[in-house]
């Protein structure tokens, strides 16, 4: 029988994502519901080492469900990657009576939790929070849906100016090594081409496709480029390349950058965060550890953290075909 959990620490780590605050609120309120104490750990593993903590109650997490970013701040800790750093973190947690941990973040965060559990047997539960949606074991990570809506909104605006000037725009979107954001916003915003790391379109096919779209009467075009795309050129080099090879196009580049990570979470992300927080706390209470909570066929399920880290979240191939048909 595992020991009864009395005091849970919650932290956010890695790149922030909309919905993280909603998840913190959910963890704190689920703890309060079950008469468990909840401690917020500032700046991820960095704050865990230093003991930068704050008590979280049902009441002091009010008014954050609609806020982007993370009230607990986020960091990527170098010290926690060392055995010495993790030893300090363990000492700080135990000195503060914390006996379970909910980590909200991406695969770097989960890798840290896994190794910490392996070394100290500390109960850990992960909640996937990243706009990239690049985590195995969940159809949606926290922040992904919000980022999709933010990016579609930006591209709609770029479309207005692109069509007014008959221009071609390369729009670079985030996603690290994954094309989930690019593929979905590309379809949602009606892009002419979508360049993602999972599919190497090749420069020739890109030119061919742009020529076809010009011929078919389109005066402006949007090409969505995932930041991890492997076509071999940056968006700026792509602009030069297309301008050299297709003098009929006036080309502009827009790199959307970190604005994609900000803003109030969508309703979807708020509900998902609330569900994930409940499951994470109640799973720790049941004595479960080393799992990530995720959305699978609209149910909140547990996936071993190890699989979440090692597995690959595949893009939906059907979307590539849909996009091809839509650009006819």
**Which residues are marked as active site?**
132
CA-based nearest residue to 319, from 207, 123, 181: 181
CB-wise, 192 or 227, nearer to ligand F6P?
A: 227
CB of 235 to ligand F6P, least distance (A): 14
The answer to whether 294 touches 157, Cβ cutoff 8 Å, is: no
Which one of the spans 37-45, 171-179, 218-226, 272-280 is the region binding ligand F6P (CB under 6 A)? Answer: 171-179
CB of 16 to ligand F6P, least distance (A): 8
Strand ranges inside 143-187, DSSP E: 167-173
Which one of the spans 19-27, 54-62, 127-135, 217-225 is the region binding ligand F6P (CB under 6 A)? Answer: 127-135
When asked if residue 175 is in the footprint of ligand F6P (CB under 6 A), the reply is: yes
CB of 73 to ligand F6P, least distance (A): 13
How are the residues of the chain apportioned to helix, strand and coil, as percentages rounded to the nearest 5?
45, 20, 35
Crossing angle of helices 180-188 and 144-164, rounded to 10°: 50
How many residues belong to the site for ligand F6P (CB under 6 A)?
10
When asked if residue 176 is in the footprint of ligand F6P (CB under 6 A), the reply is: yes
Strand ranges inside the chain, DSSP E: 7-12, 37-41, 53-56, 100-105, 124-128, 167-173, 193-195, 221-226, 250-255, 291-296, 299-304
How many Å apart are CA 199 and CA 89, to the nearest integer?
A: 41
Crossing angle of helices 180-188 and 317-326, rounded to 10°: 30
Cβ atoms < 10 Å from Cβ of 188: 16
CB-wise, 29 or 180, nearer to ligand F6P?
A: 180
CB of 249 to ligand F6P, least distance (A): 28
- Rounded to an integer, what is the distance from CA 31 to the centroid of its chain? 25
Which one of the spans 58-66, 170-178, 263-271, 300-308 is the region binding ligand F6P (CB under 6 A)? Answer: 170-178
How many Å apart are CA 30 and CA 22, to the nearest integer?
A: 12
How many Å apart are CA 195 and CA 221, to the nearest integer?
A: 14
When asked if residue 132 is in the footprint of ligand F6P (CB under 6 A), the reply is: yes
CB-wise, 106 or 197, nearer to ligand F6P?
A: 106
Cβ atoms < 10 Å from Cβ of 321: 10
Which one of the spans 26-34, 81-89, 124-132, 245-253 is the region binding ligand F6P (CB under 6 A)? Answer: 124-132
CB-wise, 150 or 327, nearer to ligand F6P?
A: 150
How many Å apart are CA 182 and CA 196, to the nearest integer?
A: 7
CA-based nearest residue to 9, from 121, 97, 79, 127: 97
CB of 72 to ligand F6P, least distance (A): 16
When asked if residue 174 is in the footprint of ligand F6P (CB under 6 A), the reply is: yes
Candidates 36, 72, 131, 278; binder of ligand F6P (CB under 6 A) is: 131
When asked if residue 261 is in the footprint of ligand F6P (CB under 6 A), the reply is: yes
CB of 255 to ligand F6P, least distance (A): 12
CA-based nearest residue to 30, from 268, 289, 290, 285: 285
String of contacts with ligand F6P for each residue 204-233, x by CB under 6 A? -----------------------x------
**Binding-site ranges for ligand F6P (CB under 6 A):** 15, 106, 130-132, 174-176, 227, 261
């Amino acid at each position: 029988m595992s020991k009864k959990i009395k005091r849970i620490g919650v932290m956010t780590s890695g790149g922030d994502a909309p919905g993280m605050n909603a998840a913190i609120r959910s963890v704190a309120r689920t703890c309060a519901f079950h008469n468990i104490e909840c401690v917020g750990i500032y700046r991820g593993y960095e704050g865990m080492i230093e003991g930068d903590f704050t008590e979280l109650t049902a009441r002091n997490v009010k008014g954050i469900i609609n806020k982007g970013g993370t009230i607990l701040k986020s960091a990527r800790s170098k010290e926690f990657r060392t055995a010495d750093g993790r030893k300090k973190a363990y000492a700080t947690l135990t000195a503060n009576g914390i006996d379970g941990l909910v980590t909200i973040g991406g695969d770097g965060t989960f890798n840290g939790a896994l190794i910490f559990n392996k070394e100290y047997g500390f109960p850990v539960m992960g909640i996937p929070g990243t706009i990239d949606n690049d985590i195995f074991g969940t159809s949606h990570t926290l922040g992904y849906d919000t980022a999709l809506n933010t990016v579609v909104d930006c591209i709609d605006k770029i479309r207005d100016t692109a069509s007014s000037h008959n221009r071609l725009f390369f729009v670079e979107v985030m996603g690290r090594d994954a094309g989930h954001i690019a593929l979905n916003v590309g379809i949602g915003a009606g892009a002419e081409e979508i360049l993602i790391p999972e599919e190497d379109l090749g420069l020739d096919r890109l030119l061919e496709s742009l020529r076809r779209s010009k011929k078919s009467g389109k005066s402006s075009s949007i090409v969505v480029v995932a930041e991890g795309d492997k076509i071999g050129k940056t968006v700026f080099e792509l602009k030069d390349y297309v301008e050299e090879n297709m003098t009929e196009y006036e080309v502009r580049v827009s790199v959307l950058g970190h604005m994609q990570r900000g803003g109030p979470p969508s309703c979807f992300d708020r509900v998902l965060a609330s569900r994930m927080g409940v499951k994470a706390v109640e799973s720790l209470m049941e004595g479960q550890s080393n799992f990530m909570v995720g959305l699978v066929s609209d149910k909140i399920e547990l996936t071993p953290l190890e699989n979440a880290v090692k597995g690959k979240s595949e893009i939906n191939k059907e979307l590539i075909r849909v996009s091809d048909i839509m650009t006819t």
